[in-house]
Amino acid sequence: MPRSPGNRAVRSAKSLTQKVARLERAKPKPAKPKRAKPKRAKPQHAARKSAPLTNLPIELYYWPTPNGWKISIMLEECGLPYVVHPVDISKGEQFSPQFLAIAPNNRIPAILDPNGPGGRPISVFESGAILQYLGRKAGQFYPRDERARVAVDEWLFWQMAGLGPMAGQANHFRLYAQEKIAYAIDRYTNEVNRLFGVMNTRLATHEFLAGRYSIADMACVGWVRLAERMGQELAQFPHLKRWFETIRARPAVKRAFAIRVEAASAVDMKDPKVRAILFGQTAR
């Protein structure tokens, strides 16, 4: 469970970069290695189930969307302590210099781990990179065995490059575009349909996308949760439906989906100010 869920907005008093620097200073610098017999190279941030985890929580910069859910699900699944910092993307908080310092693409999610590699803080943006980082850190849901890891990466990248972008556009043209453009609606609704079919076929012979439950499933589940608004009927995809219901029933997933951000339920997507912030973006 997040330590202090709630409505705290992105910190404004101290920038995140200052915060990272402060945390850096507070940590004892790792002792310089003495010249001794050469040791076998070890990954700096070896993933072991028993790796000591800090008691300083991971900071999750979050908004309740399919990309945000990926990370709250993973943190809940791993039992890693975390705090939620809502980033109100309808108000433009994703453009604050503090947030951009850790997430230069002005998109949630992002994390700040006070106890990163070498015991020093690290920030990570892009949900796929965050899932892989947390998987390595916790040694869970991201197998170390190369064949198993390749399978997870395949489905994770498939989500990041395919399902996520296509579903995002389907959502946009079906729900948010003021002008209803039939070509765009059909194009993206059909693509989501095709991609759901790809998952359904895979899940006919595999319990989960990469065999065992993994970060690849966590990346996809939030999009399947929104099937209806993307014009999809889960009854058409029985294996996908079975998979979705299995994952949705997991206690960690239930906890992640239950995180409330009051401000998010009050967002009016018809408000011209909100629309200008979300849909009028160009290079800055």
Ligand X SMILES: N[C@@H](CCC(=O)N[C@@H](CS)C(=O)NCC(=O)O)C(=O)O
Q: Measured from the CB atom, is 68 or 116 closer to ligand X?
A: 68
Q: Report the residue from 10, 47, 56, 65 that binds ligand X according to the rule CB under 6 A.
A: 65
Does 127 contact ligand X by CB under 6 A? yes
The least distance separating ligand X from the CB of residue 111, rounded to whole angstroms, comes to 11
The least distance separating ligand X from the CB of residue 40, rounded to whole angstroms, comes to 35
The least distance separating ligand X from the CB of residue 108, rounded to whole angstroms, comes to 4
Site for ligand X in 263-282 (CB under 6 A): 278
Contacts of 139-147 spanning 24+ positions with Cβ under 8 A? 139/47, 139/48, 139/49, 139/50, 139/51, 140/49, 140/77, 140/78, 141/74, 141/77, 141/78, 141/213, 141/214, 141/215, 141/218, 142/47, 142/214, 142/215, 143/212, 143/214, 144/47
Q: Report the residue from 16, 20, 60, 89 that binds ligand X according to the rule CB under 6 A.
A: 89
| Residues present in the chain in total | 284
Q: Report the residue from 94, 171, 189, 193 that binds ligand X according to the rule CB under 6 A.
A: 94
Stretch that binds ligand X, among 46-54, 102-110, 180-188, 262-270 (CB under 6 A): 102-110
Stretch that binds ligand X, among 13-21, 24-32, 59-67, 75-83 (CB under 6 A): 59-67
Stretch that binds ligand X, among 2-10, 60-68, 78-86, 257-265 (CB under 6 A): 60-68
Say how many residues touch ligand X, by CB under 6 A. Answer: 12
CA 234 to the chain's CA centroid: 23
DSSP string, 222-260: HHHHTTGGGT--GGG-HHHHHHHHHHHTSHHHHHHHT--
Does 67 contact ligand X by CB under 6 A? yes
Q: Report the residue from 19, 107, 136, 137 that binds ligand X according to the rule CB under 6 A.
A: 107
Q: Are 85 and 10 in contact (CB under 8 A)?
A: yes
Measured distance CA(175)–CA(76) in Å, rounded: 30
Which of 239-270 are b and which e, b meaning 16 or more Cβ less than 10 Å from the residue's Cβ? bbbebbebbeebebbebbbebebebbeebeee
Q: Measured from the CB atom, is 126 or 207 closer to ligand X?
A: 126
Q: Report the residue from 27, 119, 126, 177 that binds ligand X according to the rule CB under 6 A.
A: 126
Residues near ligand X (CB under 6 A): 63, 65, 67, 89, 94, 106-109, 126-127, 278
